[in-house]
Amino acid sequence: MPSEFDLIEHYFKWPAPGTVLGIGDDAAIIAPSIDKMLAVSTDTLVCGQHFFDDTDPFMLGHKSLAVNLSDMAAMGAKPRWVTLSLTLSRNLTENARWLSEFAAGFHTLAQTHQVALIGGDTTCGPLNINVQIIGEVVKDRFLCRDGAMPGDDIWVSGCLGDAALALKHAQQQIELSDEEAKYCFSVLNMPTARVELGLRLIGQAHCAIDISDGLIADLGHILSGSNQSAVIEMAALPCSKVMKRHLSSPLAAECILAGGDDYELCFTAPKKNRKLIKHIGNTLSVPLSLIGEIKHKKEQEKNLVVRDAKGREIIMEKKGYDHFES
Ligand code: ADP
Ligand code: MG
């Protein structure tokens, strides 16, 4: 059986750009750029809870980093450094193919974003992956959840609900063709973090969040943080070709509105920035959809109303993903 140190040395020691001291000592040393502030976040993926135990290891490596990059995107931060804490079963520590694929998925995405792996921890136990990420923002310029203003447009990047479709398919609640399932599982397991978009929205958007727990839940955080309400139009919510084919399913609306694992950005911006936002989407080749409007919050009124094409309110039972839901 390889030692903990063999594992780290063999699979996780890569060049660490922009780092004073990387893997190998008791702590890494990093030097933030002048006039920058640090954005720090962490996310854990638990086997059986966040991913199936037969998930492709390359995709899992990618996803472990992508979900953390997505938090940086939502802050408008430039990701710079990550640590990786792995709890591996005894079987996996001896599974060279699994380890090298996992490391390759993580490393490939890290290189794309020029993020340095600067340390971590390796322990034995049920498979669990924790990543901590550190990014930089220009002093006092970042996106948070509490800036939405009445009259703001509400925008969403990409498409909604495809990852949730994959899960419903795995739970045999929705039937997908092989090709459709392949697409939905690639969205679930290889999410794209909208890092460039987050950076470009600084100064243009009033607030942003990444949709990891479903649109309603995450937009709900913006609304409670900003003390505003909102109306969104179901017909304006962006759907993939695959989702469009399944819109007649009673589960489609739930996937689009409350499905987790989308990792798209939801943000609000003043109407006067509409052209500019469209331009940002076009230059980055990221589809951006205008889905609704922020309203003044009135006492006793609901925070969020979803309307169908005829203007009637859609009532949703499930609001989003909650780990502690019974
Ligand atoms: P310590 O005994 O001080 O906790 P470790 O033996 O856990 O240190 O780790 C040795 C070095 O390897 C440290 O620099 C640590 O940050 C790094 N490291 C440990 N596990 C990982 C991992 N999974 N990925 C990247 N670096 C790791
Ligand atoms: Mg340790």
Smallest Cα–Cα separation from 240: which of 183, 195, 319?
183
Residue 141 has pLDDT above 80, yes or no: yes
Smallest Cα–Cα separation from 102: which of 47, 20, 149, 49?
47
| Ligand 1 centroid from CA 9, angstroms | 10
Residue 10 has pLDDT above 80, yes or no: yes
Residue 319 pLDDT class (50, 70, 90 cuts): low
Burial of 276: CB neighbours in 10 Å, binned 0-12, 13-18, 19+: middle
Residue 324 pLDDT class (50, 70, 90 cuts): low
pLDDT of 43-89, one tens digit each? 999 999 999 999 999 999 999 999 999 999 999 999 999 999 999 99
Residue nearest to atom 17 of ligand 1 (CA): 119
Residue 326 pLDDT class (50, 70, 90 cuts): very low
| Ligand 2 centroid from CA 120, angstroms | 7
| Ligand 2 centroid from CA 121, angstroms | 4
pLDDT of 320 reads: 67
Index of the ligand 1 atom closest to the CA of residue 24: 14
Query: In 3-state terms, the chain is what percent helix, strand and coil (to 5)?
Result: 35, 25, 40
Cα-based distances in Å from 62 to 45, 69, 101, 176, 322: 12, 10, 10, 24, 23
Residue nearest to atom 16 of ligand 1 (CA): 119
Index of the ligand 1 atom closest to the CA of residue 119: 16
| Helix boundaries (H) for the chain | 4-7, 57-75, 90-93, 96-112, 162-170, 178-189, 195-201, 215-226, 241-245, 252-258, 274-284
Q: What's the pTM?
A: 0.95
pLDDT of 322 reads: 60
| Ligand 1 centroid from CA 120, angstroms | 5
Q: Which two tokens stand for residue 162?
A: 């495809």
| Ligand 2 centroid from CA 4, angstroms | 9
Residue nearest to atom 18 of ligand 1 (CA): 120
pLDDT of 156-208, one tens digit each? 999 999 999 999 999 999 999 999 999 999 999 999 999 999 999 999 999 99
Index of the ligand 1 atom closest to the CA of residue 27: 14
pLDDT of 115 reads: 97
pLDDT of 29-47, one tens digit each? 999 999 999 999 999 999 9
In angstroms, rounded to a whole number, what is the distance separating the alpha carbons of residues 42 and 135?
Answer: 11
Most trustworthy range by pLDDT among 7-11, 129-133, 299-303, 309-313:
129-133
Residue nearest to atom 26 of ligand 1 (CA): 119
| Ligand 1 centroid from CA 117, angstroms | 11
Instruction: Kindly provide the b/e burial profile for residues 79-95, where b requires at least 16 CB atoms within 10 angstroms of the residue's own CB.
Output: bbbbbbbbbbeeebbee
In angstroms, rounded to a whole number, what is the distance separating the alpha carbons of residues 24 and 13?
Answer: 9
The torsion angles phi and psi of 68, rounded to 5 degrees, stand at: -80, -40
Index of the ligand 1 atom closest to the CA of residue 22: 14
Residues with Cβ within 6 A of ligand 1? 8, 12, 23-26, 84, 86, 117, 119-122
Burial of 2: CB neighbours in 10 Å, binned 0-12, 13-18, 19+: middle
Burial of 53: CB neighbours in 10 Å, binned 0-12, 13-18, 19+: exposed
* Residue of 100, 122, 130 to test ligand 1 pocket, by largest number of atoms within 8 Å of CB: 122
